[in-house]
Amino acid sequence: MTADDLAKLLGPPKFIPDERQRADEVGIANGLAWTQVGGEVLHVEAQMMPGKGNLILTGQLGEVMKESAQAALSFARVQATRLGLRSDFLSDREIHIHVPAGGVPKDGPSAGITMACVLVSLVSGIPVRRDVAMTGEITLRGRVLPVGGLKEKLLAAVRAGMRVAIVPATNMAELSELPTHLRERIKIQPVHSVDEALLISLTRPLAHPKAAGHGASPRGANVVTPPRRGGAA
């Protein structure tokens, strides 16, 4: 029996892996999630559009992930100021964060770093590397907090062909649970802050405010907006 015989004996595959990104893109990053049957790579997407300062969250996200999105948005707004964007750029736009596979409930305190990288990518117009996956919760000041299920998440990153995995530095002791031959297939980057994660995940460093021009967004850049007043996200 070989792998080619499986479809004949068991029928067509019930679960089809997500198609890998073919290019580095602005506003999309690979997050790592724990599931009851192992780990999974989640593609977190964000888009900017004209609006009234709303934050839209879709993909059947739980309350903890919604709070992670709020913290990531606050961090991204600070980054936008560093980029020299005009002070009122939030007034006429809104941001939409979506995690595909909307039929599957998602929750847990480990998506903050992914959402922060996605939003800063939108603010700066800099693509996120398609071969990088990440996990970690964040504080409003950008500190990266430890997460659970690291072994399963790293296994998912290896299966998905990721070259780099960004993880909280405080989780590094758990790497002993990962077989040596798997650790050799992916570069594990421990980080203490979102700033460190951005240096790894973005295709180029963030621009200095003067380079972007005071009072205007960088060429090709998108911006983020504050959440709805009283919104659940």
Residue 43 β-bridge partners: 30
pLDDT attached to residue 49: 92
Low-confidence ranges of the chain (pLDDT < 50): 210-233
69 falls within a domain: yes
Which residues touch 47 (CB under 8 Å, ≥6 apart)?
A: 27, 95, 96, 98, 122, 222
Domain residues for 131? Answer: 24-204
95 falls within a domain: yes
Q: Residues 187, 190, 195, CA angle at the centre, nearest 5°?
A: 115
19 falls within a domain: no
8 falls within a domain: no
List the structure tokens of 4: 């080619």
Q: How many domains is the chain partitioned into structurally?
A: 1
pLDDT attached to residue 163: 96
d(CA 166, CA 164): 7
pLDDT attached to residue 225: 33
Amino acid of residue 108 = G
pLDDT tens digits for 65-118? 999 999 999 888 888 877 777 666 777 889 999 998 766 778 888 899 999 999
67 falls within a domain: yes
The helix (run of H) or strand (run of E) holding residue 10 is helix 6-10
14 falls within a domain: no
* φ and ψ at residue 104, rounded to 5 degrees: -110, 120
- The neighbour count for residue 48, using CB atoms within 10 Å, is 19
Look up the pTM and report it. Answer: 0.81
209 falls within a domain: no
Q: Which residues are designated catalytic?
A: 110, 153
CATH number of the domain at 126, please. Answer: 3.30.230.10
81 falls within a domain: yes
